[in-house]
């Protein structure tokens, strides 16, 4: 049976998150965008409310909910501020590799660390010269008896300066390409780690995106997640579980764009009547509404498939790509509906436009998502 209705528990979760966002996120979103300050206090409140780590299973102290519920919560966070949302969702990306490839002891130790107190972790795959082509990464892990030595640089690490640990991908066998990549957990206080410059970004300015270098960082073999050479597989499987979250954040941006544009179009008068009376404006709003709903359905489907134990690679690429593209369009159109005021920082829509852009870039650009979708079509 197909149902698009939320259960009572899901409705309550959305309502609680919506209240939290209205009271704690939206009032300070402008400040964090302007200053780039990481919203640690707000994330700590989200943690106390149980809105972080919601898909981590009960036995490791998490919320034990599904990826569907995670999508519901993430849309609400991003409706408030998608930059601040990173501080509340960053653990998803760092914890999934441990859930996929870790043994019981590793799950208890590292996931337990995220759930027993407010602690965040960051995901280190991208490098200055390896983004879309992640298999060409050069950070190395060389085994020396009972430990590895990690050397290299990671770029674009979301939340990196505030993380308690990193889930990092390095090559243990540079000759073997993606089959030489291995996943590790690295405590942030290990010797040899240097947090580099924070990116001065166009949007999502509250997300603390940093460059990190690792020089002779010694970590025990017990911190290796899965076997040597399994890291690339773990990284790609991770994206299947986390791209629905990116799509959900994009839906949040699109919904906020629609809401702001609708309200403004009813207030703003031109030629003696509200601009909402102009069919040209109505068509913009109608397109924003239909695209937002379509993106939400793709997002829900791709998240639901994970919870059903189904492979969702194609659907999560479709959701991420479509939702990212329509969020960019909706935010740009919201600026257009606001006219000159849309271009001013006095109003919230220019921020939405800056924040939306990255939805087409991170966790695989939308070109890469199209490649994945096409590969599935052509290999079928
Ligand atoms: C704000 C932000 C936060 C991020 N957070 C993280 C994080 O926490 N952890 C992490 O590991 N990474 C993170 N990233 C990195 C992100 O995943 C990469 O930026 C992204 O994968 C693209 O890689 P790149 O920037 O190297 O672009 P490139 O790979 O250099 O691509 C440049 C352009 O070429 C296109 N292109 C490349 N190859 C192809 C192809 N085969 N076919 C068609 N087009 C192609 C791309 O689509 C893009 O338009 C973050 C990035 C940003 C901007």
**Which residues lie below 8 Å from residue 265, measured CB to CB, with a gap of 6+?**
274, 275, 276, 281, 285, 337
Report residue 1's pLDDT band, with 50, 70 and 90 as the boundaries. confident
For ligand 1, say whether the CB of 136 is within 6 Å of any of its atoms. Answer: no
Query: Residue 59 falls within a domain, yes or no?
Result: yes
CA 201 to ligand 1 centroid distance, Å: 14
Does residue 239 sit in the same domain as residue 369? Answer: yes
Does residue 244 sit in the same domain as residue 364? Answer: yes
Query: Residue 205 falls within a domain, yes or no?
Result: yes
Active site residue 293: no
Mean pLDDT for the chain? 97
What CATH code is carried by the domain that includes residue 148?
2.40.110.10
Specify the pLDDT at position 295.
Answer: 98
Query: Residue 198 falls within a domain, yes or no?
Result: yes
Specify the pLDDT at position 136.
Answer: 97
Does residue 336 sit in the same domain as residue 247? Answer: yes
DSSP 8-state class, residue 173: -
Does residue 343 sit in the same domain as residue 319? Answer: yes
**Ligand 1 atom closest to the CA of 363, numbered from 1:** 17
Domain boundary residue, one of 205, 232, 259 = 232
Specify the pLDDT at position 2.
Answer: 83
In contact, 232 and 349? CB cutoff 8 Å: no
> Can you give the residue range of the structural domain that contains 175?
120-232
In tens, the pLDDT along 130-151 reads 999 999 999 999 999 999 999 9
Report residue 323's pLDDT band, with 50, 70 and 90 as the boundaries. very high
Q: What's the whole-number mean pLDDT along residues 190-215?
A: 97
Ligand 1 site-directed mutation target among 122, 125, 211, 365, most atoms within 8 Å of CB: 365
CA 76 to ligand 1 centroid distance, Å: 25
Question: Among candidates 300, 318, 307, which has minimal Cα distance to 245?
Answer: 300
Q: What's the whole-number mean pLDDT along residues 181-201?
A: 97
Percent of the chain with pLDDT over 70: 100
Does residue 28 sit in the same domain as residue 108? Answer: yes
Query: Residue 373 falls within a domain, yes or no?
Result: yes
Specify the pLDDT at position 21.
Answer: 98
Query: Residue 171 falls within a domain, yes or no?
Result: yes
For ligand 1, say whether the CB of 203 is within 6 Å of any of its atoms. Answer: no
**Ligand 1 atom closest to the CA of 367, numbered from 1:** 47
In tens, the pLDDT along 265-321 reads 999 999 999 999 999 999 999 999 999 999 999 999 999 999 999 999 999 999 999
CB-based burial label for 304 (10 Å; 0-12, 13-18, 19+): middle
In tens, the pLDDT along 13-59 reads 999 999 999 999 999 999 999 999 999 999 999 999 999 999 999 99
**Tokens encoding 113:** 């660390």
DSSP 8-state class, residue 226: S
Report residue 327's pLDDT band, with 50, 70 and 90 as the boundaries. very high
Does residue 203 sit in the same domain as residue 237? Answer: no
Does residue 248 sit in the same domain as residue 340? Answer: yes
Domain boundary residue, one of 232, 264, 292 = 232
Does residue 188 sit in the same domain as residue 257? Answer: no
Query: Residue 1 falls within a domain, yes or no?
Result: no
In contact, 161 and 195? CB cutoff 8 Å: yes
- Spatial distance between the Cα atoms of 158 and 30, rounded to a whole number of angstroms: 19
- Spatial distance between the Cα atoms of 74 and 17, rounded to a whole number of angstroms: 9
CB-based burial label for 329 (10 Å; 0-12, 13-18, 19+): middle
Does residue 239 sit in the same domain as residue 342? Answer: yes
Specify the pLDDT at position 187.
Answer: 98
Does residue 258 sit in the same domain as residue 354? Answer: yes
For ligand 1, say whether the CB of 157 is within 6 Å of any of its atoms. Answer: yes
DSSP 8-state class, residue 116: H
Give the residue whose CA is nearest to atom 12 of ligand 1: 126
How many domains does one find in the chain?
A: 3
Report residue 111's pLDDT band, with 50, 70 and 90 as the boundaries. very high
Give the residue whose CA is nearest to atom 23 of ligand 1: 131
Question: Among candidates 301, 306, 234, 269, which has minimal Cα distance to 67?
Answer: 306
Q: What's the whole-number mean pLDDT along residues 187-205?
A: 97
Specify the pLDDT at position 202.
Answer: 97
For ligand 1, say whether the CB of 358 is within 6 Å of any of its atoms. Answer: yes
Report residue 380's pLDDT band, with 50, 70 and 90 as the boundaries. low
For ligand 1, say whether the CB of 124 is within 6 Å of any of its atoms. Answer: yes
Does residue 217 sit in the same domain as residue 253? Answer: no
**First-last CA distance in the chain:** 26
């Amino acid at each position: 049976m197909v149902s698009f209705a939320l259960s009572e528990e899901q409705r309550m979760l959305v309502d609680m998150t919506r209240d939290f966002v209205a009271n704690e996120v939206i009032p300070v979103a402008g400040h964090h965008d302007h200053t780039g300050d990481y919203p640690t206090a707000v994330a700590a409140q989200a943690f106390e409310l149980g809105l972080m780590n919601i898909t981590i299973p009960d036995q490791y102290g998490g919320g034990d909910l599904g990826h569907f519920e995670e999508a519901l919560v993430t849309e609400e966070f991003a409706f408030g501020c998608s930059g601040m949302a990173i501080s509340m969702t960053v653990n998803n990306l760092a914890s999934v590799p441990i859930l996929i490839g870790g043994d019981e002891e590793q799950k208890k130790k590292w996931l337990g660390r995220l759930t027993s107190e407010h602690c965040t972790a960051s995901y280190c795959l991208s490098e200055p010269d390896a983004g879309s082509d992640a298999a060409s990464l050069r950070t190395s892990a060389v085994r020396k008896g009972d430990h590895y030595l990690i050397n290299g640089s990671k770029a674009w690490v979301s939340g990196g300066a505030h993380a308690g640990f990193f889930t990092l991908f390095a090559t243990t066998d540079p000759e073997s390409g993606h089959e030489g990549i291995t996943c590790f957990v690295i405590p942030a206080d290990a010797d040899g780690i240097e947090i580099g410059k924070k990116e001065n970004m166009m949007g999502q300015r509250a997300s603390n995106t940093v460059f990190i270098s690792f020089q002779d960082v010694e970590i025990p073999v017990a911190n290796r997640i899965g076997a040597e050479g399994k890291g690339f597989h773990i990284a790609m499987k991770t994206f299947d579980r986390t791209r629905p979250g990116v799509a959900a954040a994009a839906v949040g941006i699109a919904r906020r764009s629609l809401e702001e544009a609708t309200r403004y179009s009813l207030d703003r008068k031109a030629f003696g009547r509200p601009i909402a009376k102009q069919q040209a404006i109505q068509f913009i709003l109608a397109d924003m509404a239909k695209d937002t709903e379509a993106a939400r359905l793709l997002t829900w489907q791709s998240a639901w498939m994970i919870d059903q134990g189904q492979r969702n690679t194609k659907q999560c690429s479709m959701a991420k790509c479509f939702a990212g593209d329509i969020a960019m369009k909706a935010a740009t159109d919201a600026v257009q509906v606001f006219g000159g005021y849309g271009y001013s920082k006095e109003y919230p829509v220019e921020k939405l436009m800056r924040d939306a852009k990255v939805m087409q870039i991170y966790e695989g650009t939308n070109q890469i998502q199209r490649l994945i979708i096409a590969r599935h079509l052509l290999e079928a």
